[in-house]
Amino acid sequence: DWTPNAFVEETVAELKEKLGNDKVVLGLSGGVDSSVAAMLLHKAIGKNLYCIFVNNGLLRKNEFSSVLQQYEGMGLNVKGVDASARFLEALAGESDPEKKRKAIGRVFIEVFDDEAHQIKDVTWLAQGTIYPDVIESVSATGGPSATIKSHHNVGGLPDFMKLKIVEPLKALFKDEVRRVGASMGMDKQLLGRHPFPGPGLAIRILGDITAEKVRILQEVDAIFIDGLRQWDLYDKVWQAGAILLPVNSVGVMGDERTYEKVVALRAVESTDGMTADWVDLPYKFLQKVSNDIINKVKGVNRVVYDISSKPPATIEWE
């Protein structure tokens, strides 16, 4: 019978045997898979695992610093690289969803390659690939591994792609990954995190991206997600987030009319992201969150809740 403890013991032994004194580089995304992969490798080879955590400027509010701190607290040899400005620059003026994804993928590869080059004599690239990523051509799990995979089609491999690949979670499903993480004593909140797309808030800002729009959406998203936690709803939802719509709507403040942004809130139940149902969050909760958003986030005067299921609607809006 499969048990997480036995898996950890066997995998760590295998990794030790396979990697010896070699150096390994791994891209951390803040998500469950790359974090658990990192912990396993850390147990096996310690400081010879070089983790890189890239801030693309499209993460949730405060996520880069808080997750980086958490990784350091776990004892990982991790380097945080803030490349926000580079990503924003590459995205400037771009509204097409696929071009936005490509631009983010390209900059990620460039930044990661630059960092990997600074690690002397590195010979392995570790990835947090899990079984569903192996059997599906398109990864829905997000993070660096998805980005690296889609780059295969572009041609002209960066140097780090010539490294040997090690994927310790390749045979596991998501729930097994979480159990493996728990058996290594990893933080429950980290292991229970909702999936988050690799391109991050870029695909939740419909249309072109500016630093100001990112800031607005981070504020809105934080109120929504913190609210879900406070109301004990976070773990009942598979994925949640906010979308900044490319329309303004009229509102009134005092005796002035305003013309400001509309945000949509989305929360879904799902098992694998392939199909999904919208969650009937309590009206009282939606009322509170909507009031908080409109009162606290300058530039937003209207909140709507997405009641579409997948199919035919997708989870993301673009």
Annotate 127-182 with DSSP letters as a single string.
----HHHHHSSS-SS-HHHHHHHHHTTT-S--GGGGSEEE-TTTT--HHHHHHHHH
Would you say 220 is a known binding-site residue?
Answer: no
Minimum CB distance to ligand XMP, residue 200 (Å): 9
Of the ranges 68-76, 77-85, 255-263, 307-315, which one interacts with ligand XMP (CB under 6 A)?
Answer: 307-315
Looking at 42, 100, 101, 204, which residue binds ligand XMP (CB under 6 A)? 101
Annotate 194-259 with DSSP letters as a single string.
PP--TTGGGGTB-S---HHHHHHHHHHHHHHHHHHHHTT-GGG-SEEEEEEEEEEEEEEETTEEEE
Q: Which residues pair with 81 in a beta bridge?
A: 54
Of the ranges 151-159, 161-169, 195-203, 209-217, which one interacts with ligand XMP (CB under 6 A)?
Answer: 195-203
Would you say 31 is a known binding-site residue?
Answer: yes
| Interaction pattern, residues 30-69, with ligand XMP; x per rule: CB under 6 A | ----------------------------------------
Of the ranges 20-28, 106-114, 121-129, 197-205, which one interacts with ligand XMP (CB under 6 A)?
Answer: 197-205
Minimum CB distance to ligand XMP, residue 278 (Å): 12
Query: Contact between 198 and ligand XMP (CB under 6 A)?
Result: yes
Pick the closer one to ligand XMP by CB: 48 or 141.
141
Burial of 303 (0-12, 13-18, 19+ CB in 10 A): buried
Query: Contact between 316 and ligand XMP (CB under 6 A)?
Result: yes
Q: Which of 280, 277, 271, 261 is nearest to 312 (CA)?
A: 277
Contact 317, 206 (CB under 8 A): yes
Contact 57, 29 (CB under 8 A): no
Please report, as residue ranges, which positions from 239 to 278 form the binding site for ligand XMP (by CB under 6 A): 239, 273
- Can you give the binding site for ligand XMP, defined by CB under 6 A? 101, 140, 142, 146, 195, 197-199, 239, 273, 310, 314-316
